[in-house]
Structure 1
């Protein structure tokens, strides 16, 4: 029987997760219109899609320190307020505010996305991996709503600025609910490593790098899709609305694998089969959407969604499965998401540079397939059944 406290926390987690993707996915269907109205070049548009991911990566390592100082619950409130402010700021008609607001939104997502896995580990430790799947499902749903509703909202509200700013209302509503019903603070800070175990100890562990690089490469794929998939589909002959809905269908399919991937991973001794399966689905989906005939777009959208939803869900699950306690989960989350998302930021910007240099969608598709091949190598090592523990007074890796 699930307690009232657990149900309330799960609902809060879902609401917060719902806010952490529309800031990025809502821009992609409108990117061509932004380029026309704001005079953005392909590289400038690439910078716009890169900024939230870059600042997400730069801010994520700060989350454990901020949570330690003011409490994870207050830190999450501050992140939601920063998110709402950034979404409002980026549509104001002043030079540079589009980029500043986008960077603020990315920073807020980095803080909230790093704090939540540690809170899940603290509040419901026995089912942390399965709840991470539910949290990922909320992320996917938010991303799908951002992609699918951007163009209809623009048509209904009259301009792209009103469409983009409408997502700040969701952030403000979630902030009010979070402040009202957030879990009680922990009796003492638990997100910092204990004395004698410096942060560099985590960086000396190959397991940290394996999880980080898997997170970074699969996230790069996701943010390339968030930032550029509609534009690439429009170049292939799709209408603006059809491209947005194709992306929305793909993201909606992520809901299925985001929730089911952690369950499937439990069927095996370790997570390697599940990790490799979702990466193969991602690769097939990209080929069908970007290189195969247009008739393959719906199977491609489904496979891409299943692959990316499962990849991200399992990547977040690794943060709790590879650590023995909340403290280490918070530290590993900060390092992995910080380094991983900073690496992932290169993806959208790189695609912008490639398009400006004259690359075709097929060129981009095969480059992404190569990156997925590299990601499979890191998945093979990160998926082994091991765990970081510090109970001995030193940070060590144990085979569970």
Structure 2
């Protein structure tokens, strides 16, 4: 086999591996949203406690995201991702046993696995295809969103239509993560060992104002996304929508967002700055949530859910794009990704938990909407600042990145 054909074959294997990994980074979480009420009734848990099923993975993202770059530098990013996929598969299976303790422990495990992949994949892509960062990020984020949408839509049909129950409905996603393990194995054979970083730049990523702006944009857009995943079906039911339709409206939201998920990274890479994209995302969210608050027919609600879909599709892909756009190399991209996903997901973890708590306290969705509108405004402000054309260490070239 010629060297050119070998490189092409390796590129195809890498693309397949990236897509299958991306398939697993949201599906095991989004599959839970439509099943929340069924799980709550079966386990006799409160709204605030059941909200932990969405919050625990986010807490895992927050706690372990800063550790992922260090582990990756020690064992290699590709090998670390493989281990993370095995942990993810184990967590999915444990969560599906039906025991309440295993439900939460397994959820935390899958959150750990996803956290590591979340952080390291942007750095791997930046290192292998720096000139194609926008296209690769678009494919990666679109694949993630596509399977997340599918998972939301099939949860109720699997649990009720095929009489699998919520346990087996959630267990099915271990098949997909197992496929990702097999597809990623070739990437560990010739992985690039981390290159040494010169001593001319020793400043911590946590001291960068721009890095914090990227982090807070990441945090608030993620918080809104997971609030939608966890509670929008319940909110729609309170507006007169039946449970299966609410689940499919959540799927519609994610399907509609796919074009934005794919195209925004490409557009972001070609623009001088990304401020206009960030403000557009905030505006779409404001209109969509306002419409859902006032309610309407299924057709009208479908329109507003579609606006949420465009916003969330653009939001996650812009966040992932900023890790590369605001960094000069793969090392900085991994560190920025680790910071943004650590602090960002700790912020995101509070949203679903607070919404469940507010509903238990006030028996109304009004406090939830007030919280969401506040997050949208904050996201727009930080996204506007994070969108300026600058690298995180551009203003401090003589300090050392830690």
Q: Contact 1:88–1:168 (CA<8 Å) still a contact in 2?
A: yes
- Match of 1:220, SS state, is helix
**What is the CA–CA distance in structure 2 between the aligned matches of 1:271 and 1:395, rounded to whole Å?**
27
- Structure 1 residue aligned with 2:205: 202
Q: Contact 1:84–1:168 (CA<8 Å) still a contact in 2?
A: yes
Quote how far apart the aligned CAs of 1:182 are.
4.9
Q: Contact 2:52–2:353 (CA<8 Å) still a contact in 1?
A: yes
The normalised TM-score by structure 1 is 0.93
**What is the CA–CA distance in structure 2 between the aligned matches of 1:9 and 1:355, rounded to whole Å?**
45
- Larger CA deviation: 302-311 vs 280-289: 280-289
Q: Contact 1:291–1:365 (CA<8 Å) still a contact in 2?
A: no
Quote how far apart the aligned CAs of 1:247 are.
0.2
Query: Aligned pair 1:77/2:113, yes or no?
Result: no
- Larger CA deviation: 275-284 vs 374-383: 275-284
Query: Aligned pair 1:93/2:98, yes or no?
Result: yes
Quote how far apart the aligned CAs of 1:91 are.
1.7
Q: Contact 1:233–1:290 (CA<8 Å) still a contact in 2?
A: no
Quote how far apart the aligned CAs of 1:197 are.
4.6
**What is the CA–CA distance in structure 2 between the aligned matches of 1:374 and 1:158, rounded to whole Å?**
41
- Structure 2 residue aligned with 1:161: 167
What are the ranges of 5 or more consecutive residues in structure 1 without an aligned counterpart?
none
**What is the CA–CA distance in structure 1 between the aligned matches of 2:10 and 2:140, rounded to whole Å?**
17
- Structure 2 residue aligned with 1:132: 137
- Structure 1 residue aligned with 2:227: 224
The normalised TM-score by structure 2 is 0.93
**What is the CA–CA distance in structure 2 between the aligned matches of 1:394 and 1:4, rounded to whole Å?**
40
Quote how far apart the aligned CAs of 1:103 are.
0.5
- Match of 2:67, SS state, is helix
- Structure 2 residue aligned with 1:6: 11
Q: Contact 1:129–1:321 (CA<8 Å) still a contact in 2?
A: no
Quote how far apart the aligned CAs of 1:201 are.
2.2
Quote how far apart the aligned CAs of 1:48 are.
2.1
* Aligned pairs, number: 393
- Match of 1:386, SS state, is coil
- Structure 1 residue aligned with 2:327: 323
Quote how far apart the aligned CAs of 1:79 are.
0.7
- Structure 2 residue aligned with 1:297: 301
**What is the CA–CA distance in structure 2 between the aligned matches of 1:392 and 1:212, rounded to whole Å?**
21
Quote how far apart the aligned CAs of 1:305 are.
0.5
- Larger CA deviation: 305-314 vs 153-162: 153-162
Query: Aligned pair 1:238/2:241, yes or no?
Result: yes
**What is the CA–CA distance in structure 1 between the aligned matches of 2:235 and 2:302, rounded to whole Å?**
15
- Structure 1 residue aligned with 2:350: 346
Q: Contact 1:193–1:331 (CA<8 Å) still a contact in 2?
A: no
**What is the CA–CA distance in structure 1 between the aligned matches of 2:301 and 2:163, rounded to whole Å?**
29
- Structure 2 residue aligned with 1:180: 186
1:170 equivalent among 176, 181, 190: 176
Quote how far apart the aligned CAs of 1:233 are.
1.3
Q: Deviations over 1:193-245 (max 9, x none)?
A: 554655x6211110011000000000000011111111211222221111110
**What is the CA–CA distance in structure 2 between the aligned matches of 1:15 and 1:211, rounded to whole Å?**
27
Spell out the pairing of 1:1-400 with structure 2 (5 A cutoff).
3-154=8-159, 155-182=161-188, 184-186=190-192, 188-190=193-195, 194-195=198-199, 197-198=201-202, 201-266=204-269, 268-294=271-297, 295-389=299-393, 392-394=397-399
> Measured at CA, do residues 229 and 193 of structure 1 come closer, stay the same or move farther in structure 2, by a change above 3 Å?
farther
**What is the CA–CA distance in structure 1 between the aligned matches of 2:267 and 2:355, rounded to whole Å?**
33
Q: Contact 1:282–1:307 (CA<8 Å) still a contact in 2?
A: yes
What are the ranges of 5 or more consecutive residues in structure 2 without an aligned counterpart?
none
**What is the CA–CA distance in structure 2 between the aligned matches of 1:40 and 1:366, rounded to whole Å?**
25
Give the CA RMSD over aligned residues: 2.0
Quote how far apart the aligned CAs of 1:261 are.
1.1
Quote how far apart the aligned CAs of 1:267 are.
5.1
- Match of 2:362, SS state, is coil
